[in-house]
Amino acid sequence: MKTLSRIYTVLVFAFLYAPIIVLIVFSFNLSSSTIVFDGFSLQWYKALIKDGNTLRALYNTIILAVSSSIIATILGTSAAVGIEKYKKSAFRSTIIGVTNVPMMNPEIVTGISMMLLFVFIGRALRIESVLGFGTLLIAHVTFNLPYVILTVLPKLRQTDKNLSEAALDLGCTPLASFFKVVLPSIMPAIITGLIMAFTLSLDDFIISYFTSGPGFQTLPIAIFSMTKKRIKPDMYALSALIFVSILVLLILYNSIQIKSEKKPDKE
């Protein structure tokens, strides 16, 4: 039974990693073939560095992810604080229901619905090409928001009501008690929400695909337009680099988490 489950686990992970291993191997290929390995070379990595378009797209992606996740976190946290105050009311469940919409909807529907809105407004205001950084930012903030709200809200519910009352009792104003007591205690959830929003935004293709214009390309969109043609291993090289950097980040994050859990005063 034990060996059986081990074999099974290995097979599942082999399946998950097969294409990743293939693309990492072929990123070092001498020729541009992605089927036959002709020899080791770093030429695709060099080509990648020289390729200004790809670097530009990478830069755009990061700018977009940073700004959209920060806006979503601020907006989402304040939303959660407000929603929490509504207790059990029809209004509250309506807000939560609406918040769930971008999570439940297929991404393609979210994408085209926002595109329709933007195009309609663009026509109404007679703006030539409405789709660009602004529309992308709005779209990303919108699909990030539910994740932030739905991580902060439970934490907010968990926090001891007595905490803020104790702060008021000790002479804090309501505002000061929020910043001094409530905010620090929901901070871990806010950070989790921020990280989640950031990674979702980095990785998003479908919604961006419908809400971006030719003037502002993110990395996934750049990759998409490249995969429309015959792909060259420089894309593989880029993916390999992304893979390695995410791997390093995750290991780092994980070891920090383990360290903080070892402390007795964990959350």
Site for another protein (CB under 8 A): which residue of 60, 142, 144, 201?
142
Q: How far is the CB of 174 from another protein (least distance, A)?
A: 4
Q: Is 150 in the site for another protein (CB under 8 A)?
A: yes
Q: How far is the CB of 185 from another protein (least distance, A)?
A: 16
Site for another protein (CB under 8 A): which residue of 46, 59, 93, 105?
105
Site for another protein (CB under 8 A): which residue of 49, 104, 127, 183?
104
Span of 40-48, 52-60, 62-70, 140-148 interacting with another protein by CB under 8 A:
140-148
The three state secondary structure string of the chain is CHHHHHHHHHHHHHHHHHHHHHHHHHCCECCCCCCCCCCECCHHHHHHHHCHHHHHHHHHHHHHHHHHHHHHHHHHHHHHHHHHHCCCCHHHHHHHHHHHHHHHCCHHHHHHHHHHHHHHHHHHCCCCCCCCHHHHHHHHHHHHHHHHHHHHHHHHHHCCHHHHHHHHHCCCCHHHHHHHHHHHHHHHHHHHHHHHHHHHHHHCCHHHHHHCCCCCCCHHHHHHHHHHCCCCHHHHHHHHHHHHHHHHHHHHHHHHHHHHHHCCCCC
Q: How far is the CB of 245 from another protein (least distance, A)?
A: 10
8 Å CB contact between 221 and 235: no
- Which backbone phi and psi does 204 adopt, to 5 degrees? -65, 130
Q: Is 241 in the site for another protein (CB under 8 A)?
A: no
Q: How far is the CB of 217 from another protein (least distance, A)?
A: 14
Q: How far is the CB of 36 from another protein (least distance, A)?
A: 8
Q: How far is the CB of 50 from another protein (least distance, A)?
A: 20
Site for another protein (CB under 8 A): which residue of 57, 60, 223, 234?
223
Span of 46-54, 62-70, 112-120, 125-133 interacting with another protein by CB under 8 A:
112-120
Report 69-98 residues binding another protein (CB under 8 A).
Answer: 75-76, 78-83, 85-86, 95, 98
Site for another protein (CB under 8 A): which residue of 42, 50, 174, 183?
174
Q: Is 13 in the site for another protein (CB under 8 A)?
A: yes
Number of residues interacting with another protein: please give it, by CB under 8 A. Answer: 80
Count Cβ atoms below 10 Å from residue 46 Cβ, excluding itself: 12
